Chains A and B, each alone.
Chain A
Amino acid sequence: DSGVTQTPKHLITATGQRVTLRCSPRSGDLSVYWYQQSLDQGLQFLIQYYNGEERAKGNILERFSAQQFPDLHSELNLSSLELGDSALYFCASSVAGGSTTDTQYFGPGTRLTVL
């Protein structure tokens, strides 16, 4: 158990809908990272927040947005869902901002299925 929690574990929804994925970092960790993993594209970094501020971005679609709240939990919002958004979404947390040696701890993931 990494100490990072993600809810829900599974989510099934329809195209065009909007969903919110939630992540609680390990106690004391200030950074939260979001990743998408689909069968045909491997592991894709989406975005990182550090202490409430956006710190780094990957190839995150405009239909996707995220935020980190004062209690440091984070939410990833996916809207206008398409079939291709079906994937496993991982959250990770780390103590610091990530530009130095900084271990990331991954949650178990949320499996999103868009029908």
Chain B
Amino acid sequence: GQSLEQPSEVTAVEGAIVQINCTYQTSGFYGLSWYQQHDGGAPTFLSYNALDGLEETGRFSSFLSRSDSYGYLLLQELQMKDSASYFCAARGRTGGYQKVTFGIGTKLQVIP
């Protein structure tokens, strides 16, 4: 089967660093994606990790450890506009089909 776990809520201070963790159980695992969604808006794709290690894109970085079935999204120099929900999603293969499963989403609140 496929399942992902991530915290439901995180609060962090403006200017600080926050890490949002995601653990997954995914058969035939291909990779882990992260999405950002502001209230009332469409999701925005942030990153995709297929290989172990850290991928950096500006203030956002994403990490994957395939051996630990674990990844995280790191947001640096937090800004108020980073307040949003963040979803991890795992792509895998089950019974000849590729499947994509999302976590419940982590609601990040950035406070002054």
Residue ranges of B at the interface with A (Cβ–Cβ < 8 Å): 30-31, 33, 35, 37, 42-45, 48, 50, 87, 89, 91, 97-105
Partner among B37, B42, B50, B99 whose Cβ is within 8 Å of the Cβ of A100: B50
Residues of A within 8 A of B48 (CB): 100-103
Is B89 touching A45 in the complex (CB atoms < 8 A)? yes
Query: Total A-B residue pairs with C-beta atoms closer than 8 Å?
Result: 64
Size band of the A side of the interface?
A: 20 to 34
The interface of chain A, by Cβ under 8 A from chain B, is 2, 33, 35, 42-45, 48, 55-58, 90, 92, 98-109
* B2, chain A: closest CB distance, angstroms: 9
Interface class of chain B by DSSP: strand
Is B100 a contact of A43 with CB atoms below 8 Å?
Answer: no
B98 x A45 contact (CB < 8 A): no
B42–A57 touching, CB < 8 Å: no
